[in-house]
Amino acid sequence: MTQTADAIIIGAGVIGAATAFEMAKMGYRTLSVDRNAEAGHGSTSGSCAIIRVHYSTLDGTAFAYEGYFYWRDWADYLGVADERGLATFRETGCLVMKTEANGFMEKHKANCRELGIPFEDWTAAQIVDRLPIYDLKGYHPAKRPQDPGFGEPTGGRVEGGIFFPTAGYVTDPALSSHNLQRAAEAHGAQFRFNATVTEILTRDGRVAGVRLADGSEIHAPVVINVGGPASSLINEMAGVTGDMTITTRALKQEVVHVPSPAGFDFEHDGIVVSDSDISCYCRPEHGNHILIGSEDPPCDQHVWIADDSDYDRNFTDQWNVQAMRYAQRVPSLGIPSRTRGVVDCYDVTEDWIPIYDKSSLPGFYMACGSSGNQYKNAPIAGKMMAALVDYCEAGNDHDTAPLVFRLPTIGRDTDVGFYSRKRKINPESSFSVLG
């Protein structure tokens, strides 16, 4: 017997599970399908799960600040227990180094003032007092180890940074997806795992459901693509790429885990740091390790993946590059011979701003290109996607009259057209993992 639902959600990562939760609360009979064995076991499990409020655009900043409150009040937001426990948000705060590359954070500070986001303007002395293992010599622009002058100061120093107290990270991103699954199920949502979508079904000019690899069909008048790094392949299945000016691709990413220098407990005393002078970001990691990610400087090659289910998951020399760049900031850092960390794929757009939108196929929606900088926004992204489906299924044309969505906690309206598949590339973007 063919299974039916009001809405099929492809993907049970953190944004897919949040979308299921929010739609189920609105009364939709949702069925989430995921090719993995459990919620959050795709690219979400490889996320650095950093919760931050600074973005390069005002809209992105407002969205992130709204998202912060759901993580802060996670148990209240979910409203249910999970037999595995609840994901933990460690509110360490986030320091962003003031550099020429980010305009010394002046625009970010203006965005925060407009939105009422707290921040502190730290001097170099305050940074070193908080992170005594740091040396603030300047190294910009980023180089690779084989380049002349790598590891040599280029003059000047980092003179200060902006500290955002409403920031930190979630210790177990996969668990947060499972939490959302349990919350969605409490409202009637269903989940089907080890289920790979092989075809998007249509009937009479609109979406009609999906066919799975086992040959079974699920019928629904609404299908939402939250497929992460597989999203571009799913959009191609649906035949909806023709009118898209913004597209998504899977990008290989490597994240480094190295021990904290002797004498400093980075796991308990460290904070999230974004440092465009050395093109790295970091956060505490369990076992008194430091997690180090790249801010994608121009000198680094982008490794694009055609099929995220079949690519080389081994570390490359990029692991060592990131560790060595961070060692410029932390001279006492030891770089182990054994690689530790995460190799995964990000789903990214040309400007690293996601697509939250309808498509040219009625009933087919997409929440794509969200990797790297949208984990933190999952709860509010799910809420906005539910509102978008409701808006369009009621007969509104989101392309010509975009949905205006209220961010309920901060009480601000946002034009969902900002995330359109048909938008122009946003020149205000950082064009990196920073969004």
Query: Is 70 found in the same domain as 12?
Result: yes
Q: Which of 346, 366, 400 is the last residue of a domain?
A: 346
Q: What is the CATH number of the domain that holds 299?
A: 3.30.9.10
Q: Which amino acid, residue 38?
A: E
Q: Does 257 share its domain with 342? A: yes
Cα 79 to Cα 61: distance, rounded to the nearest angstrom: 26
Inside any domain, residue 424: no
The answer on 261 and 128 residing in a single domain is: yes
Spatial distance between the Cα atoms of 196 and 215, rounded to a whole number of angstroms:
10
Spell out the alpha helix ranges (H) of 139-215.
173-185
426 belongs to a structural domain: no
Are 366 and 331 found together in one domain?
no
- Whether residue 399 is contained in a domain is answered as yes
216 shares its domain with 78 = yes
Say if residues 421 and 357 touch (Cβ distance below 8 Å): yes
Q: Are 317 and 333 in contact (CB under 8 A)?
A: no
Looking at the fold, whether 272 and 342 belong to one and the same domain comes out as yes
CA 316 vs. chain centroid, Å, equals 23
Q: Please state the separation of Cα 314 from the chain's center in Å.
A: 22
Contacts of 411 (CB under 8 A, 6+ apart): none
77 inside domain: yes
Report the predicted TM-score, pTM, of the whole model to 2 decimal places: 0.96
Strand 223-225 and strand 7-10: the pairing is parallel
319 and 237 co-located in one domain? no
Q: Are residues 126 and 267 in the same domain?
A: yes
Tell me the CA end-to-end span of the chain in Å, nearest whole number: 44
d(CA 68, CA 63): 9
Check if the beta carbon of residue 115 is closer than 8 Å to that of residue 62. yes
Q: Are residues 23 and 145 in the same domain?
A: no
Answer yes or no: is 197 within a domain. yes
Task: Please report whether residue 386 resides in a domain.
Answer: yes
By residue range, what is the domain housing residue 295? 89-168+248-346
182 in a structural domain: yes
Give the pLDDT confidence score for residue 56 in this predicted structure.
Answer: 87
**Which structure tokens are listed for 310?**
């079949």
Q: How far apart, in whole angstroms, are the C-alpha atoms of residue 222 and residue 82? A: 28
Instruction: Output the domain CATH number for residue 28.
Output: 3.50.50.60
Write the DSSP string, 300-338: SPP-EES-TTSS--S--HHHHHHHHHHHHH-TT----SS
The answer to whether position 429 is within a domain reads no
> Of 301, 323, 346, which residue sits at a domain end?
346
Largest CA distance in the chain: 70
Whether residue 132 sits in one domain with residue 79: no
Listed residue (141, 356, 158) closest to 248, CA to CA: 356
Close Cβ partners of 204 (under 8 Å, ≥ 6 residues apart): none
Q: What local confidence, expressed as pLDDT, does residue 426 receive?
A: 82
| Total domains in the fold of the chain | 2
pLDDT, one tens digit per residue, over 112-142 is 999 999 999 999 999 999 999 999 999 999 9
Q: What is residue 286's DSSP assignment?
A: T
Do 276 and 261 fall within a single domain? yes
pLDDT in tens, 156-209: 999 999 999 999 999 999 999 999 999 999 999 999 999 999 999 999 999 999
Identify the H or E element spanning 110.
Answer: helix 106-115
Contact assessment for residue 18 and residue 180, using Cβ atoms and an 8 Å cutoff: yes
What percent of the chain clears pLDDT 90, i.e. is strictly above it?
92
| Domain identity same for 203 and 331 | no
Query: Cα(235)–Cα(366) distance, rounded to whole angstroms?
Result: 8
Last residue of a domain, one of 295, 311, 346: 346
pLDDT at 1: 64
Q: Which letter does DSSP use for residue 406 in this model?
A: E
Instruction: Spell out the per-residue pLDDT of the chain, length 435, in tens.
Output: 689 999 999 999 999 999 999 999 999 999 999 999 999 999 999 899 999 999 989 999 999 999 999 999 999 999 999 999 999 999 999 999 999 999 999 999 999 999 999 999 999 999 999 999 999 999 999 999 999 999 999 999 999 999 999 999 999 999 999 999 999 999 999 999 999 999 999 999 999 999 999 999 999 999 999 999 999 999 999 999 999 999 999 999 999 999 999 999 999 999 999 999 999 999 999 999 999 999 999 999 999 999 998 899 999 999 999 999 999 999 999 888 888 999 999 999 999 899 999 999 999 999 999 877 799 999 999 999 999 999 999 999 999 999 999 999 999 999 999 999 999 998 887 777 766
Mean pLDDT of the chain: 95
Residues 6+ apart with CB under 8 A from 56: 107, 108, 428, 429, 430, 434, 435
